[in-house]
Amino acid sequence: MKRYFQPVEKDGSSTKKPTLSASKKNSENGETIGENTKTEPLKFLTWNANSFLLRVKNDWPEFTNFITGFDPDVIAIQEVRIPAAGSKGAPKNPGELKDDTGSAREEKQIMMRALSSPPFSNYRVWWSLADSKYAGTALIIKKCFQPKAVFFNLDKKASKHEPDGRVILAEFETFRILNTYAPNNGWKEEENSFPRRRTWDKRILEFVLQCSDKPLIWCGDLNVSHEEIDVSHPEFFSAAKLNGYVPPNKEDCGQPGFTLAERKRFANILKEGKLIDAYRLLHKEKDMEQGFSWSGHPIGKYRGKRMRIDYFIVSEKLKDRILVCDMHGKGIELKGFYGSDHCPVTLVLSEASSINTRESDFSI
């Protein structure tokens, strides 16, 4: 492992654990909020890290330089892949990192040191984790932009976490931000495949309809490419099979994330929820070099095959405030992916009172 941080202290050390923020209780849901707040966030970043811990160990200097340059107010992470706290056979705490073994404590300390060092020392972190090293999300928000409430499910129920830690919802004064890691559709009609994704899409639709009282910013790895322009090779992905299996329903055929069934459901969510795909609003033409957020392995049949499955979806009410929405990785060699198979995606909104702010003011 590359040593970008001080060596981990042995068990029993009196070293003080890092504190992420000074805070007070939020009576609405038990979460803590910062003492000093400013106006609402305008700069957002989403990234499927494909193991946040590995990115800290192997790719942290490059990623922190990117964060320093862009200076986001909110960072949404998917595929954290850190287990939730709780010993074997005991109930888990999805809001805390596992630390009941020597290796788990070391991994937790590595992560906490990274997030307690600049530029992340100016942020507070919320976790929603799976029981094992699978899935999981994190929401990292500047301390001066603390939300009114934070939930970890689509039902807005205090303390409940979605299975596998796939949801974090932060509510601010004038909008909500939803960070999700959507389950993969899979290849076959199985218990944890097509039905699971259909159920997820149904619940997302219900959520956006029930929460229409306030504008929404929905981001994350949504695991769907909406239209043909959103994949590098539409014919390849449409005809893709696993071990020759062909689903009985033609709309379930093809690459997970690019089946007709998924794409139709996604289109319906956008239509019924009055939502805008921020990237496609600003980028009308296909960009074979930098127009996709996920890229296949550089070796094998997926070399050069790419998909746009990471999004910022925003309410139509925010449409005129969208200044920038960009992807920051390019090429078969995955430049700007920082070790993941997904690249970061950014969104910049103008202030509500000054929607004509120049885009160049937010370049990095």
Catalytic residue among 161, 226, 328, 342: 342
Q: How far apart are the first and last CA of the chain?
A: 30
Catalytic residue among 73, 164, 221, 326: 221
CB burial of residue 285 (10 Å; 0-12, 13-18, 19+): exposed
Q: Computed from CA positions of residues 140, 167, 39, 34, in that sequence, does the dihedral angle turn out positive or negative? A: negative
User: Quick one: tokens of 141?
Assistant: 């928000």
Query: Does 341 appear as a known binding residue?
Result: yes
**Structural contact between residues 76 and 47, judged by C-beta atoms closer than 8 angstroms:** yes
Catalytic residue among 123, 181, 279, 311: 181
Residue 104 to residues 5, 84, 108, 225: CA-CA distances in angstroms?
17, 10, 6, 36
* Distance in angstroms (rounded) separating the CA atoms of residues 201 and 268: 10
Compute and round to an integer the Cα radius of gyration of the chain. Answer: 20
* Distance in angstroms (rounded) separating the CA atoms of residues 80 and 71: 21
Query: Does 79 appear as a known binding residue?
Result: yes
CB burial of residue 260 (10 Å; 0-12, 13-18, 19+): middle
11 is catalytic: no
Residue 62 to residues 23, 69, 113, 146, 338: CA-CA distances in angstroms?
30, 11, 17, 27, 7
**Structural contact between residues 167 and 178, judged by C-beta atoms closer than 8 angstroms:** yes
* Distance in angstroms (rounded) separating the CA atoms of residues 302 and 68: 32
223 closest CA partner among 139, 162, 308, 292: 308
47 closest CA partner among 362, 279, 312, 303: 312
328 is catalytic: no
Q: Tell me if residue 265 falls in helix, strand or coil.
A: helix
73 is catalytic: no
Residues ≥6 apart with Cβ < 8 Å to 316: 274, 275, 276
Query: Does 161 appear as a known binding residue?
Result: no
Helix boundaries (H) for 8-76: 52-58, 60-70
* Distance in angstroms (rounded) separating the CA atoms of residues 247 and 250: 7
Query: Does 223 appear as a known binding residue?
Result: yes
Active site residues: 181, 221, 342
Q: Residues annotated as binding site for Mg(2+)?
A: 48, 79, 221, 223, 341-342
Residues annotated within the binding site are: 48, 79, 221, 223, 341-342
